[in-house]
Amino acid sequence: IPLLRRALAMSKRPLLLFASPWTAPGWMKSNGDVRGKGTLKGKAGDKYHKTWANYFIKFLDEYAKHNVTFWAVTAQNEPLAGLFTPPQAPTIAFTAAQQRDFIAQDLGPALARSPHRTQLLMLDDQRIHLPHWAKVVLGNATAARYVAGLAVHWYLDAIVPPSCSLEATHKLFPDHFLLYTEACTGFFMFR
C-alpha cells in the first residue's frame, strides 16, 4: 500500500490499477492447499463460490480504507495454467465454462452489489484461448453483462496470429475491450 500510494502521488496522470488473484485459501480448494492443481470446491452458486466472490469485495474494501481503489479485477490469473502448474505454485484452475458460471452467479453479482465501481475482466491468460474462451463466457448474456473486457497474456503469441485470436474476438464482441495484462521477456530458458 505505501508503494502504491507513492506511485499514485508521483504520477502526472491518474493510474488505473487492476488486481488479479492467484489462489483462494486452501480450505476452499479441491486439493486443500493454496499451492498446486486444484479448483474451487463445489460449483458456481454454492457457498465456496459465493465466499470466494466476497473475498474480492473484502479486498476492495480493505484497500479503499487506505484510499487505494482499483479500476478492475480479473476473475482469475491464468485459469488454465492451474492445470499445468508446478506443484508449489499458488493457483486455481477454471475452464471457460466454470469461469462463465462463477462470473454469472457469484462474482458479477457481488461486484454489482458492492459500493465499488470496479470493472471485471475475464480470461487473464494466453491469447491462444481466444476466441473460444470469449464465446463461452460472453456468449452467455448474464455473464457478458458483468464483464467489461478481456485480459490477455502474451507468452504464447508466436503460436497464434493476432488475426485468429484478438481480431476474431473483437469482431465477435466489439463492446468488450482487449487488454494485455501480463508480459515479460526471458521466460523461455532456451532463448
Q: How much helix, strand and coil, in percent to the nearest 5, is found in the chain?
A: 40, 15, 45
Buried b (16+ CB within 10 A) or exposed e, 9-21: eeeeeeeebbbbb
Cα–Cα distance between 167 and 12 in angstroms, integer?
A: 32
Q: Give the DSSP letter string of 31-54.
A: TSSSBSS--BSS-TTSHHHHHHHH
Cα–Cα distance between 147 and 103 in angstroms, integer?
A: 8
For this structure, is 78 an active site residue? Answer: yes
- Tracing cell 463460490 back to the chain, one arrives at 49
Contact 53, 113 (CB under 8 A): no
Considering only CA atoms, which of 117, 108, 110, 164 is closest in space to residue 137?
A: 108
Considering only CA atoms, which of 116, 94, 97 is closest in space to residue 21?
A: 94
For this structure, is 62 an active site residue? Answer: no
Per annotation, catalytic residue among 33, 157, 167, 182? 182
Per annotation, catalytic residue among 56, 57, 70, 78? 78
Catalytic residue positions?
78, 182
